[in-house]
């Protein structure tokens, strides 16, 4: 009897904190969540956060659709938010009624993928451009030609991020089309151009920050923040904004429809809308965040970074990435599979 009591007491003592303070399972892109911010969140709220990584929107979509994942929050790109909503995977958690919502930069409130922000909260936003190691090639890098028609110095040293929508967007604009086009004339040019470029690529992979820094790859398509983090390790790394057109994207945190820790998840969404906390996300991942007033908490080097401040003459080349209709996506997938074989 005594033994049973003792065991029960011990069990309760061990289990109690977990029950009392709650937990939160965050499903996010790899190497994207500021550990300092999570630590601060855990300290302030007592909620224990577990982070699981994914490397592409499609991986996240497939895993969440399959069910039984146990995650509470996911961070899809804007182009995937409508898909997540249409498939009934996100909870209408009304971030627009949360305490810290007033901090959101007005230009990111009425976005095409979630008008008025009924589902999502900005995580980070940035651009897709080209990263070049200028000690290998010191010509003009504000062009997609770096990856699609590379100079001799870069051939065989190029990595292309296997993010289909971004890459097809860059490629379509490079041959003079518009994003999401299903025009077969244009797509044929895209296919031929990509097939001709592929032999110059050494890999199509994610997670290249270390490899750029170490010189394993010398150029490639990349996200601006990832490029900036590579530059922090190797001063020769530069980021170019393709004058032919380059996508602007935003990743957004949202609560999953089948989340088990809903209150904790709401607390988290509200937490990352506080300028101070959003700034912590940015200083880790090195992208802008869509929360007004966060700038003053950001490190000095980010305010002037060439990866963040777009040169005036290249601002016009940016386009906000949209969700392409299934008939276009089908054609893109065919071109893409052929490319990856």
Residue ranges that bind another protein, judged by CB under 8 A: 56, 58-59, 61-62, 65, 83, 86-87, 156, 159, 162, 164, 184, 187-188, 191, 198, 201-205, 211, 214-216, 326, 329, 331, 333-341
**Residue 336 C-beta: closest distance to another protein, Å:** 7
CB-nearer residue toward another protein: 267 or 329: 329
Q: How far is the CB of 331 from another protein (least distance, A)?
A: 6
Please report which helix (H) or strand (E) contains residue 126, including its range.
strand 120-133
* 13/66 with CB nearer another protein: 66
Of 214 and 309, CB closest to another protein: 214
61-74 in b/e burial notation, b at 16+ Cβ within 10 A?
bebbeeeebebbbb
Please tell me whether residue 304 adopts helix, strand or coil conformation: coil
* Shortest reach from residue 333's CB to another protein, in Å: 6
Rounded least distance, CB 57 to another protein, Å: 9
Q: Taking Cα atoms as reference points, which of 272, 284, 251, 298 lies closest to residue 104? A: 272
Nearer to another protein, 152 or 300 (CB): 152
Nearest-10 Cα torsion for 196, 199, 205, 209: -100
Minimum CB–partner distance for residue 42 and another protein (Å) = 27
Nearer to another protein, 207 or 316 (CB): 207
Residue closer to another protein (CB basis): 146 or 164: 164
From residue 74, how far is each of 49, 71, 281, 290, 336 by CA, in Å?
13, 8, 15, 18, 26
Q: Smallest gap, in angstroms, from Cβ of residue 216 to another protein?
A: 5
Distance, in Å, from the CA atom of 31 to the CA atom of 111, rounded to the nearest integer, reads 26
The token pair that represents 340 in the structure block: 């990856």
Contacts of 298 (CB under 8 A, 6+ apart): 279, 282, 283
Provide DSSP, 18-54.
HHHH-EEEEEEETT-S-HHHHHHHHHHH-PEEEEEEE
Nearest Cα residue to 249 out of 293, 290, 210 = 290
Dihedral sign for Cα 102, 105, 106, 111, please. negative
Instruction: Decide whether 7 or 340 has the Cβ nearer to another protein.
Output: 340
Q: How far is the CB of 94 from another protein (least distance, A)?
A: 24
CB 248, min distance to another protein, A: 21
Q: Are the C-beta atoms of residues 101 and 269 closer than 8 Å to each other?
A: no
Q: Of 79 and 261, which has the nearer Cβ to another protein?
A: 79
Distances (CA, A) of 252 to 74, 269, 333: 8, 10, 24
């Amino acid at each position: 009897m005594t033994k049973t009591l003792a065991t029960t007491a011990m069990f309760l003592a061990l289990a109690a904190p977990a029950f009392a303070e709650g937990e939160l399972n965050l499903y996010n892109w790899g190497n994207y969540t500021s550990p300092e911010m999570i630590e601060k969140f855990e300290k302030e709220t007592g909620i224990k956060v577990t982070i699981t990584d994914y490397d592409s929107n499609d991986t996240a979509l497939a895993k969440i659709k399959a069910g039984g994942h146990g995650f509470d929050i996911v961070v899809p790109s804007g182009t995937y938010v409508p898909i997540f909503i249409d498939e009934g995977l996100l909870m209408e958690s009304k971030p627009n009624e949360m305490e810290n919502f007033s901090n959101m930069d007005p230009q990111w409130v009425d976005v095409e993928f979630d008008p008025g922000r009924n589902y999502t909260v900005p995580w980070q936003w940035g651009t897709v451009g080209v990263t070049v190691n200028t000690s290998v090639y010191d010509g003009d890098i504000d062009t997609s030609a770096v990856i699609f028609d590379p100079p001799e110095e870069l051939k065989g040293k190029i990595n292309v991020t296997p993010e289909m929508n971004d890459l097809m967007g860059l490629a379509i604009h490079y041959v003079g089309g518009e994003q999401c086009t299903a025009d077969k004339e244009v797509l044929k040019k895209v296919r031929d151009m990509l097939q001709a470029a592929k032999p110059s690529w050494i890999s199509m992979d994610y997670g290249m920050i270390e490899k750029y820094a170490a010189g394993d790859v010398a150029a490639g398509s990349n996200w601006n923040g990832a490029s900036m983090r590579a530059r922090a390790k190797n001063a020769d790394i530069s980021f170019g904004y393709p004058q032919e057109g380059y996508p602007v994207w935003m990743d957004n945190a949202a609560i999953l429809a089948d989340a088990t820790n809903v209150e904790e998840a709401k607390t988290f969404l509200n937490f990352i809308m506080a300028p101070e906390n959003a700034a912590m996300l940015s200083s880790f991942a090195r992208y802008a965040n869509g929360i007004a007033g966060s700038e003053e908490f950001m490190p000095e080097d980010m305010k002037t970074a060439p990866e963040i401040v777009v040169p005036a003459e290249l601002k016009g080349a940016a386009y906000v990435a949209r969700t392409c209709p299934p008939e276009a996506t089908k054609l893109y997938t065919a071109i893409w599979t052929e490319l990856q074989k």
